[in-house]
Amino acid sequence: MKTVSLEQEINPWEAQSARFDFAAQKLNLDEGLWKVLRYPNRELIVHIPVAMDNGKLEVFTGFRVQHSIARGPAKGGVRYSPDVTLDEVRALASWMTWKCAVVNIPFGGAKGGIICDPHKMSQGELERMTRRYTAELVEFIGPEKDVPAPDMNTNEQVMAWMMDTYSMHMRQTVTSVVTGKPINIGGSRGRREATGRGIMIVCDEAIRKLGLRPENTRVIVQGFGNVGSNAARLMAQKGYKIIGIIEVDGALHNPHGINLEKLWAYREKNRSIAAFPEADKADPAELLLEDCEILVPAATENQITSRNAARIKCRILAEGANGPTTAAADEILAGNGVFVIPDILCNAGGVTTSYFEWVQDRQGYFWKESVVNEQLEDIMVNAFHDVVRFAEAHHVNNRIAAYMLAIDRVAYTIRQRGIYA
């Protein structure tokens, strides 16, 4: 891959494109299909007026990008953050296309976001902003068109507002327009933990492949939000030794293993993990480089770059977040023999269970949690082995194998649909 500046390296769109180009070239993808798949289908920018609690009017900028609808309706989360950019949303939308194809579910890829600081907004302000954003997207989204879901700083409540706003415009309740909803209004059992559960499932497969057992597998998790906290808790229940947790306001280290049930209860009570008494305080950047068997970056993008990749000591990198590793870091990790479970495979448990939620909403029949978890396990295990087999057969690393598998599936569908006519 070509040499790039650090600024380019940490641009998620550049990171996505570098892997896409490399995988497409390995696949000998024809030039026309390369052009079709390299850029998103549709990009919408909206400017949303919101009445703030202080009586003033504020205008927020939001995005929705649909990368591909070749394999089914576009699917992807909505994030609220002060540093959302169109390039980031483009990259995330493309990753959704590849992710849905890797786990072989009938969706394309999309993503959305609003530039805002949700931690500085009241519930009322968030609700008005969410409703106005949804209203702007009414013609763009829908159960057969594009199905949003939660992502960073959005949650079940935000999905309930989106569902309600869309339903008001349709003059009927349409639960299947978004996933990640509360259970009593069309959500799926198991969705909340699904991304974390999926991470655990692929880690189980990876340690088996490397000859490890959960009891002798030390894990460090970065990010204790939806993905990281559920992954850590479920892995601890399985017997993995969680020795480190890294958050924005501090990091915790306990070489004997952190009691996740206690930490969970502590976080529920204190809204932070920073002062948890049963672990040592650690430097967040240093803890990422600590010796362990599995490192789970489950916070945000660009945590492992050309600057720190050579000092990463884990044997398995299980990418819970989207885009935590840059393309330049990939080569360093590969050189050091790190077994990478790439984001588009590792965190696909969330979208897979979102797919189950969409199916249940359309069926009007809701599954038991054990059924959801069993179906999820089946899909994640198959996807893991598909990617590993592809990597071995084509002599590429797991990430490029996952991209190749995904691009091949999407390209096959496009050829079959015959869009050139």
How many whole angstroms separate alpha carbon 133 and alpha carbon 155?
15
How many whole angstroms separate alpha carbon 220 and alpha carbon 399?
21
Binding-site member from 66, 165, 179, 222 for ligand NAD (CB under 6 A): 222
The footprint of ligand NAD on this chain (CB under 6 A) covers a number of residues equal to 24
Q: DSSP letters along 369-403, please?
A: HHHHHHHHHHHHHHHHHHHHHHHHHHT--HHHHHH
Instruction: Say whether 111 is catalytic.
Output: yes
Side chain identity at 211, as an amino acid letter? G
C-beta closer to ligand NAD: residue 69 or 287? 287
Binding-site member from 16, 41, 165, 195 for ligand NAD (CB under 6 A): 195
Question: Which of 324, 378, 396, 293 has its CA nearest to residue 388?
Answer: 396
Binding-site member from 44, 248, 371, 381 for ligand NAD (CB under 6 A): 248
C-beta closer to ligand NAD: residue 134 or 229? 229
How many whole angstroms separate alpha carbon 88 and alpha carbon 362?
31
Contacts (CB under 6 A) with ligand NAD, residues 21-50 = none
Which CA distances in Å does 150 have to 58, 154, 178, 386?
23, 5, 9, 27
Closest distance to ligand NAD from the beta carbon of 279 (Å)? 15
Query: Tokens standing for 76?
Result: 């992807």
According to DSSP, the β-strands at 241-247 and 250-253 are antiparallel
Instruction: Confirm or reject binding of residue 246 to ligand NAD (CB under 6 A).
Output: yes
How many whole angstroms separate alpha carbon 189 and alpha carbon 191?
6
Q: What is the sign, positive or negative, of the torsion defined by CA atoms of 234, 237, 239, 240?
A: positive
Binding-site member from 134, 175, 226, 305 for ligand NAD (CB under 6 A): 226
Closest distance to ligand NAD from the beta carbon of 366 (Å)? 19
C-beta closer to ligand NAD: residue 217 or 347? 347
Q: Which of 31-39, 61-69, 225-233, 393-401 is the region at the interface with ligand NAD (rule: CB under 6 A)?
A: 225-233
Closest distance to ligand NAD from the beta carbon of 85 (Å)? 14
**Where in 176-265 does DSSP place strands (E)?**
218-222, 241-247, 250-253
C-beta closer to ligand NAD: residue 233 or 396? 233
How many whole angstroms separate alpha carbon 279 and alpha carbon 245?
10
Instruction: Confirm or reject binding of residue 142 to ligand NAD (CB under 6 A).
Output: no
Show Cβ contacts of residue 241 under 8 Å, excluding neighbours closer than 6 positions.
214, 215, 216, 217, 218, 219, 256, 257
Instruction: Confirm or reject binding of residue 298 to ligand NAD (CB under 6 A).
Output: yes
The owner of tokens 């959960």 is 214
Closest distance to ligand NAD from the beta carbon of 95 (Å)? 9
Contacts (CB under 6 A) with ligand NAD, residues 55-94 = none
Closest distance to ligand NAD from the beta carbon of 7 (Å)? 18
According to DSSP, the β-strands at 146-150 and 218-222 are unpaired
Catalytic residue among 111, 145, 241, 313: 111
CA of residue 409 relative to chain centroid, distance: 20
How many whole angstroms separate alpha carbon 279 and alpha carbon 256?
9
Binding-site member from 12, 73, 118, 150 for ligand NAD (CB under 6 A): 150
Instruction: Confirm or reject binding of residue 223 to ligand NAD (CB under 6 A).
Output: yes
Q: DSSP letters along 312-377, please?
A: ---SEEE--SSS-B-HHHHHHHHHTT-EEE-HHHHTTHHHHHHHHHHHHHHHT----HHHHHHHHH
C-beta closer to ligand NAD: residue 152 or 345? 152
Binding-site member from 350, 372, 398, 406 for ligand NAD (CB under 6 A): 350
Binding-site member from 151, 290, 330, 386 for ligand NAD (CB under 6 A): 151
**Largest CA-CA distance found in the chain, in angstroms, rounded:** 65
Binding-site member from 11, 153, 165, 254 for ligand NAD (CB under 6 A): 153
Which CA distances in Å does 226 have to 14, 196, 197, 329, 376?
27, 8, 11, 26, 17
Query: Tokens standing for 377?
Result: 């396990």
C-beta closer to ligand NAD: residue 212 or 327? 327
Give the CB-side neighbour count of residue 138, counting CA atoms within 13 A: 13
Instruction: Confirm or reject binding of residue 347 to ligand NAD (CB under 6 A).
Output: yes
Instruction: Confirm or reject binding of residue 224 to ligand NAD (CB under 6 A).
Output: yes
C-beta closer to ligand NAD: residue 141 or 246? 246
C-beta closer to ligand NAD: residue 219 or 414? 219
Contacts (CB under 6 A) with ligand NAD, residues 299-338 = 299-300, 320-322
Instruction: Confirm or reject binding of residue 148 to ligand NAD (CB under 6 A).
Output: no
Residues that bind ligand NAD (CB under 6 A): 150-153, 195, 222-228, 246-248, 284, 298-300, 320-322, 347, 350
Q: What amino acid positions are annotated as catalytic residues?
A: 111
